[in-house]
Structure 1
Amino acid sequence: MKLRDFGHFDGPVLLVGGVFGNIDAFSAFTGMVAGRPVIGTGDLAAIGPAGEEAVTAFADAAWPTVAGASDLAALEDLRDPRSSAWGGPDAPALSDAAIRALSALPTLATFVQVDRRYAVLGGGVPGQGAFLWPTSSEALFREQIGAIEEAVGPVDGIVAGGTGLAFHRNIDAHQWINPGAIGLPSHDGRPETRYAVLTAGDVMIERLTYDAVGAAERARRAGATEPFAAIYETGIWPDEQVLPDALRRKT
């Protein structure tokens, strides 16, 4: 487990997860940051049509981020990290420079905002592999919080990505914040993606509007299958197998 301290922040912090190779959404996000600090939960390259560009752009922005599950998977097999069960583009693997950038990312980090301490991770506790969803049981949240505090000490909250769905839950005295994904819509029929703003313990989940049609066309040019490319325009995931039953659309 690779640990890192992201530092101390007095003002609002933007929390961002799941770029997922969507450079169009990432460019829109960078355009509205306006100098505010950004902390990421990883998943930079996988699924989308511009994985190499997304890794490079995030590194150039010098925003602290942990490695997401898809980043770690890409490093394990060094195959094209953009391919997926949804039918991602058949594109060349990441460059050596992008692989080095992903390799440098921590798997778990901490930061302090005002007087509250947070842990940051890509999804579930590294080595345990469990992603937590809005509908996950409180027992599972407590189990994960315990494992995190065993690794980094007491925290007031956890910032974790992985699922692509933004949510905020209070578990006893802890906050659990998932900022969602800026590179993938929330399976709610809207093309906008999500990020979060953390201000002294207050969490706001925001929508990001960007050129979703352009992202879909980029995916098609990269060789994506049509159900995959259409995600950006429709806001609907073509495969719900990754979702808990309670979060699947009823048709």
Structure 2
Amino acid sequence: MAEKVIDLNNIEGRILVFGGVYSNLQALQELIHKAESLGIPPENCICTGDIVGYCAQPEETVQAFRKWGAHSIAGNVEIQLAEDKEDCGCDFREGSRCDDFSKQWYPYAKIHLSQASIEWMKDLPLHIRFNYVGKKVQVVHGSAFQVSEFIFKSTDWSLKQRNFTETDTDVIIAGHCGLPFSHSKEEKLWLNPGVIGMPANDGSPKTWYAVLDSEKKITFDHHSLKYDHQLASSLMMKNQLPQEYARTLITGIWDNTEILPGLESGLQGFGLNV
């Protein structure tokens, strides 16, 4: 995996940010349509990683993403696949339900990806930097320190502040945790746009992305994404992928909340206030 940061320099206009496509081709196709309808070009679309994951069409999803031409950093899944590792590197607790499920979907993804897609993953950067309305922005997967670190809205600000100090930035756009949120303090902004490949444990099959806009300062809005979740779920069932995750695509409820802090776990099924 390339140990590098890509600098996109100055970006103007609206920026669409998202994460966790998770091999969900139907969600990616709908997001591409949304970007086109909003007039946001591919070079202004940025993924926080994990293009490949739980769902049934890893190769088709990578090919669609590459054809689109958006930017992406490497998520832990891309890093593990590029290095021919035997697990997803999601930092799940050994023996947990998420760990057990990963032993089903990760080998499936590995088998169904072409060598060309693996080679493409090897060139993905770990971070992306750019300037936007005079602010320095860095895109990371988990955190600036660890690609698989789970950071939530309830995570203490001091940990987030360490990331701003390490990257010398004003805005961090992160992924990995699966939940959209924003947290601002002391003129710094931590923004997780959410993921498009799995619901946000809020009781809705819709998934999440965000759009940044600018005049004299950065503004942003979270948006839900409605796509053909019934087809995505049925393809998972057909290919004998974890039925619990296939069901989540329908219900919007996670099978478990093992990775969540108490606050986020207690909000399961109550919708999101973003």
TM-score, normalising length from structure 2? 0.83
Q: Is the 8 Å Cα contact of residues 109 and 119 (structure 1) preserved in structure 2?
A: yes
1:152 alignment partner in structure 2: none
Identity of aligned residues (%): 28
Report the CA distance between 1:222 and its aligned residue: 1.6
2:272 alignment partner in structure 1: none
1:112 alignment partner in structure 2: 131
Report the CA distance between 1:223 and its aligned residue: 1.1
2:81 alignment partner in structure 1: 74
2:232 alignment partner in structure 1: 215
CA distance in 1, matches of 2:195, 2:224: 10
CA distance in 2, matches of 1:75, 1:178: 25
1:131 alignment partner in structure 2: 150
Q: Is the alpha carbon distance of 1:39 and 1:77 closer, same or farther for their aligned partners in structure 2, counting shifts above 3 Å?
A: same
Report the CA distance between 1:148 and its aligned residue: 2.0
1:55 alignment partner in structure 2: 62
Which amino acid in structure 2 is aligned with residue 234 of structure 1?
T
Q: Is the 8 Å Cα contact of residues 6 and 64 (structure 1) preserved in structure 2?
A: no
Q: Is the alpha carbon distance of 1:213 and 1:16 closer, same or farther for their aligned partners in structure 2, counting shifts above 3 Å?
A: same
Report the CA distance between 1:70 and its aligned residue: 2.0
1:109-148 Cα deviation digits (max 9, x unpaired): 1112232221111121244753210110011111222222
Q: Is the alpha carbon distance of 1:129 and 1:146 closer, same or farther for their aligned partners in structure 2, counting shifts above 3 Å?
A: farther
Unmatched segments (≥5 aa) in structure 2: 91-97, 269-274
Question: Which range moves more in the overlay, 159-168 or 47-56?
Answer: 47-56
TM-score, normalising length from structure 1? 0.90
2:261 alignment partner in structure 1: 244
SS in 1 for 2:144: coil
2:166 alignment partner in structure 1: 147
Report the CA distance between 1:169 and its aligned residue: 0.9
Question: Which range moves more in the overlay, 108-117 or 188-197?
Answer: 108-117
Q: Is the 8 Å Cα contact of residues 14 and 38 (structure 1) preserved in structure 2?
A: yes
CA distance in 1, matches of 2:213, 2:76: 27
1:38 alignment partner in structure 2: 45
Which amino acid in structure 2 is aligned with residue 220 of structure 1?
M
SS in 1 for 2:137: strand
Which amino acid in structure 2 is aligned with residue 104 of structure 1?
D
SS in 2 for 1:170: strand
SS in 2 for 1:77: coil
2:11 alignment partner in structure 1: 9
SS in 2 for 1:15: strand
Report the CA distance between 1:236 and its aligned residue: 1.0
Q: Is the alpha carbon distance of 1:124 and 1:177 closer, same or farther for their aligned partners in structure 2, counting shifts above 3 Å?
A: same
1:73-98 Cα deviation digits (max 9, x unpaired): 22233448699643644622422111
Q: Given the alignment, which residue of 217, 221, 224 partners 1:204?
A: 221
CA distance in 2, matches of 1:128, 1:230: 27
1:134-182 Cα deviation digits (max 9, x unpaired): 1100111112222222xxxxx2211111111111110322111101101
CA distance in 2, matches of 1:49, 1:19: 11
User: Higher helix share goes to which structure?
Assistant: 2
Q: Is the alpha carbon distance of 1:160 and 1:185 closer, same or farther for their aligned partners in structure 2, counting shifts above 3 Å?
A: same
CA distance in 2, matches of 1:68, 1:128: 7
CA distance in 2, matches of 1:13, 1:228: 30
Length, aligned pairs only: 246
Q: Is the 8 Å Cα contact of residues 230 and 250 (structure 2) preserved in structure 1?
A: yes
SS in 1 for 2:83: helix
Q: Is the 8 Å Cα contact of residues 140 and 147 (structure 2) preserved in structure 1?
A: no
Q: Is the alpha carbon distance of 1:139 and 1:235 closer, same or farther for their aligned partners in structure 2, counting shifts above 3 Å?
A: same
SS in 1 for 2:159: helix
Q: Is the 8 Å Cα contact of residues 44 and 71 (structure 1) preserved in structure 2?
A: yes
Unmatched segments (≥5 aa) in structure 1: 150-154
Q: Is the 8 Å Cα contact of residues 145 and 163 (structure 2) preserved in structure 1?
A: no
Question: Which range moves more in the overlay, 235-244 or 127-136?
Answer: 127-136
